[in-house]
């Protein structure tokens, strides 16, 4: 089997434990974000949820991927992460189980994203929580945004793909 052709060739378990293929969102614009519940950028969940609510009907899906690789800022269990996101930020967009975005055990999805959209100076590393990848309706990564880029600043680039 060859290299994955698009985002839709990957799968990962949701926080509920259900293994889910990203092909479930084929034909939609995706905003893929590595998240953390105990980070200075955690309030970005509010902006991500607003984007999801405002643009879901037009074809956007935000996908959250908790990661504990940055100073143990996502240390809870799957049920604790689910509860935290719902109670504090009203998150309704799909949230996946914790995964690795860097290192030897990088999840294949993040290997693919970093390969197609490397960071500044071509580095493949994810530098922090809330790095964002914008993926078009064909499953192609089209942009990478820094952790400090606010979700609300992405509305126009997202609308351009919708």
Catalytic residue among 29, 32, 39, 99: 39
Cα→Cα distances 119→12, 72, 90, 127, Å: 23, 22, 30, 9
Give me the half-sphere count of Cα atoms (radius 13 Å) on the Cβ side of residue 76. 15
Clarify whether 39 is annotated catalytic. yes
d(CA 83, CA 49): 15
| DSSP assignment string, 23-87 | GGGTTSEEEEEEE-SSSTTTTHHHHHHHHHHHHGGGTEEEEEEE--TTTT---S-HHHHHHHHHH
Provide the greatest CA pair distance for the chain: 43
DSSP letter (8 states) at residue 132 = E
116 by Cβ neighbours in 10 Å (0-12 / 13-18 / 19+) ranks as middle
Q: What token pair was written down for 49? A: 């949820």
Residues marked as catalytic? 39
């Amino acid at each position: 089997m060859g290299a994955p052709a698009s985002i839709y060739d990957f799968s990962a378990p949701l926080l509920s434990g259900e293994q889910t293929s990203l092909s479930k969102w084929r034909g939609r614009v995706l905003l893929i974000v590595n998240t953390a519940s105990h980070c200075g950028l955690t309030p970005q969940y509010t902006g991500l949820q607003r984007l999801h609510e405002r643009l879901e009907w037009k074809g956007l899906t935000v996908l959250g991927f908790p990661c504990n690789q940055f100073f143990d800022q996502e240390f809870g269990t799957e049920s604790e992460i689910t509860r935290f996101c719902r109670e504090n930020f009203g998150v309704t967009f799909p949230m996946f189980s914790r995964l690795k975005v860097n290192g030897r055990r990088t999840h294949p999805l993040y290997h693919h994203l970093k390969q197609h959209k490397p960071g500044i100076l071509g580095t493949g590393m994810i530098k922090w929580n809330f790095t964002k990848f914008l993926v078009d309706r064909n499953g192609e990564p089209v942009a990478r945004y820094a952790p400090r880029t606010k979700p609300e600043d992405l509305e126009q680039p997202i609308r351009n793909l919708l």
